[in-house]
Amino acid sequence: RIEMMLVNGIDTWAPVLPVKRAIVDFSSPNIAKEMHVGHLRSTIIGDSISRMLEFCKADVLRRNHVGDWGTQ
């Protein structure tokens, strides 16, 4: 497979997904609390998943959900 990617290019290696569109919702900080390293982890994972889907030619909508707006 590596030889095929070197000869044909990496774009030919991307798997064909059954979906053409995806929404990835990540990094959910709570507006009433401080940010912490867990939010960074979620952001990195969400970004990685989005990039993999885009590599597979999916139309990706990235959503950043800003947690709970209630008074706590």
Residue 9: the pLDDT is: 76
Average pLDDT per run of 10 along the chain, which is 72 residues long? 74 80 81 75 88 90 71 52
**Structure tokens that stand for 47 in this block:** 């970004």
Distance between CA atoms of residues 28 and 22, nearest Å: 18
Domain ranges of the chain: 19-72
Catalytic residues: 33, 36, 39
Residue 13: the pLDDT is: 73
Residue 43: the pLDDT is: 83
